[in-house]
Amino acid sequence: MPRAGSKKKISDLGVWLVELFWSFWAYIWLYVILEVWTPRVITLWEASLTVLQYGLLLLHAYAQDKRCPFVSIPLYDPDS
């Protein structure tokens, strides 16, 4: 538990960036499915794609955490 007044630090910037990207994408995706494709109606296809994207977020964040080649963001790691 950090003490009052101490600074907090993100331990893994890569995973944070992956989460940031997917968070922005979620709002774009909601706009597209609610206003562009089928205004104010959610189809089964759109719902299925939304659930699939959650799985992709989990896989992408896991790959970033494990530093998988070709999937993760190459960031400088001071520990290696």
Tens of pLDDT along 29-50? 999 999 999 998 999 999 999 9
Residues of the chain short of pLDDT 70, as ranges, are 1-2, 76-80
The answer to the question of residue 78 being in a domain is no
Residue 7 included in any domain = no
Q: Which of 80, 79, 63, 78 is nearest to 14 (CA)?
A: 63
Q: What is the number of domains present in the chain?
A: 1
The half-sphere exposure of 65 on its side-chain side, counting CA atoms within 13 A, is: 10
Domain contains 76: no
Q: Is 38 inside a domain boundary? A: yes
Determine the structural domain holding residue 43 and report its residue range. 13-65
Asked if residue 24 belongs to a domain, the reply is yes
pLDDT at 71: 77
pLDDT of 30: 94
Q: In sequence order, what are the residues at sequence separation of 6 or more whose Cβ sits closer than 8 angstroms to the Cβ of residue 27?
A: none
Residue 60: inside a domain: yes
Give domain status of residue 25, yes or no: yes
Domain annotation covers residue 6:
no
